[in-house]
């Protein structure tokens, strides 16, 4: 079996950040940094470091500039805005400060003690993340979050393929009309007013010592149906291994009773996203993202073609 590519890329170390970014972080925290440990996971080429301060406290910082990748500062900016809107009941890190100079964006957050889930997913970690997703779905949605359809890139992916099918498998292109219809269905099916994280992946989760889960990387936060994040967790099972994704969707309270066609349409939309993205050259600073997307393409296709929910 081909190993799953790491959902990670090379990162800038704390020591290599511009002076003004380091100065902002230390001023925001009120203490100099004594030690910084770069963390792995995620595709951003920016810094992601756990900090130990000279006064003994700890914090976490993530920072990126446009020279590393032109799109990554926008994602950090979106995450900072989302963290500022989320209610206290959400299992997310506390935002302590944000720098945005139009080039570099830095987020200063609490340092969450925990470990990422083991892969393939284990039952205890699934239960912890499940509880966290219920808390997200039940929270009061703040004003200011955009609808899922306004933020999700996958909903128009098959339309892009229709304009130019270069590099897409001929068997998929043969079903292009069906795929576009399913993506249109997904646009309607994902209307809702619940908070949606939309990036529930193992490397975006920390499991605390008490067994509870904290969700990281809120750059894609939006409004959508209560079931959408649970669907994304099932998708990560299909991609990185774990319990049966179909069983999760059938049995979990957030997805039980949701029309099966909603899930099928979302899998088709994801298939379009990875078919469209994985054929392109790697963007600046993100050398590992295309192998990851090609792996996701194969896993999504298997799920679409073999799921017991609709086959």
pLDDT of residue 7: 64
Q: What are the start-end ranges of the E strands in 82-146? A: 95-100, 105-109
Classify residue 203 by its DSSP letter: G
Q: Are 202 and 236 in contact (CB under 8 A)?
A: yes
According to DSSP, the residues that pair with 64 across neighbouring strands are 105
CA dihedral of 259, 260, 262, 263, whole degrees rounded to 10: 140
Q: Give dist(CA 195, CA 69) in Å, integer.
A: 28
Q: Give dist(CA 84, CA 95) in Å, integer.
A: 7
| Secondary element (H or E) of residue 255 | none
Q: Are 136 and 91 in contact (CB under 8 A)?
A: yes
The gap from C-alpha 253 to its chain's centroid, in whole angstroms, comes to 22
Q: Are 198 and 147 in contact (CB under 8 A)?
A: no
Parts of the chain with a pLDDT under 50: 1
Q: Give dist(CA 150, CA 137) in Å, integer.
A: 19
Q: Are 27 and 15 in contact (CB under 8 A)?
A: no
Tokens in use for 265? 């349409």
211: left (phi over 0), alpha (psi -120 to 50) or beta: left
Q: Give dist(CA 244, CA 304) in Å, integer.
A: 14
Neighbours of 214 (CB within 10 A): 20
Q: What is the pLDDT of residues 229-285, one digit of tens each?
A: 999 999 999 999 999 999 999 999 999 999 999 999 999 999 999 999 999 999 988
pTM score, whole prediction: 0.94
Q: Give dist(CA 128, CA 136) in Å, integer.
A: 13
pLDDT of residue 40: 82
Tokens in use for 77? 């900016």
Long-range contacts at 245-251 (CB < 8 A, ≥ 24 apart): 245/303, 245/307, 246/307, 246/308, 246/309, 248/126, 249/309, 250/309
Domains along the sequence of the chain with CATH: 14-109 (3.30.200.20), 123-306 (3.90.1200.10)
Half-sphere exposure of 250 (CA within 13 A, CB side): 9
DSSP secondary structure string for all residues of 71-83? SHHHHHHHHHHHH
């Amino acid at each position: 079996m081909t190993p799953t590519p790491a959902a990670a890329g090379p990162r800038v170390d704390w020591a290599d950040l511009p002076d003004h970014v380091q100065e902002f972080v230390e001023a925001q925290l009120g203490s100099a940094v004594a030690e910084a440990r770069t963390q792995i996971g995620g595709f951003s080429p920016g810094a992601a470091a756990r900090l130990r301060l000279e006064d003994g406290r700890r914090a976490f910082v993530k920072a990126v500039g446009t020279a590393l990748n032109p799109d990554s500062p926008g994602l950090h900016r979106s995450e900072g805005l989302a963290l500022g809107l989320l209610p206290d009941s959400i299992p997310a890190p506390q935002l302590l400060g944000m720098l945005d100079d139009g080039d570099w964006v830095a987020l200063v957050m609490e340092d969450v003690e925990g470990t990422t889930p083991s892969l393939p997913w284990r039952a205890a970690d699934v239960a912890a993340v499940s509880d966290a997703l219920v808390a997200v779905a039940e929270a009061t949605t703040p004003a200011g979050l955009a609808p899922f359809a306004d933020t999700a890139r996958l909903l128009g992916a098959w339309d892009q393929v229709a304009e130019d099918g270069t590099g897409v498998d001929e068997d998929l292109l043969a079903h292009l009309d069906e795929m576009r219809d399913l993506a249109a269905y997904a646009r309607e099916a994902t209307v809702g007013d619940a908070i949606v994280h939309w990036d529930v992946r193992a490397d975006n989760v920390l499991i605390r010592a008490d067994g509870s889960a904290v969700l990281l990387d809120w750059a894609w936060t939006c409004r959508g149906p209560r079931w959408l994040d649970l669907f994304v967790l099932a998708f990560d099972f299909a991609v990185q291994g774990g319990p049966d994704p179909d069983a999760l969707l059938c049995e979990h309270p957030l997805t039980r009773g949701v029309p099966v066609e909603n899930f099928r349409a979302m899998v088709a939309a994801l298939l379009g996203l990875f078919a469209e993205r994985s054929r392109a050259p790697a963007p600046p600073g993100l050398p590992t993202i295309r192998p990851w997307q090609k792996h996701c393409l194969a896993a999504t296709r298997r799920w679409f073609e073999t799921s017991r929910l609709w086959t």
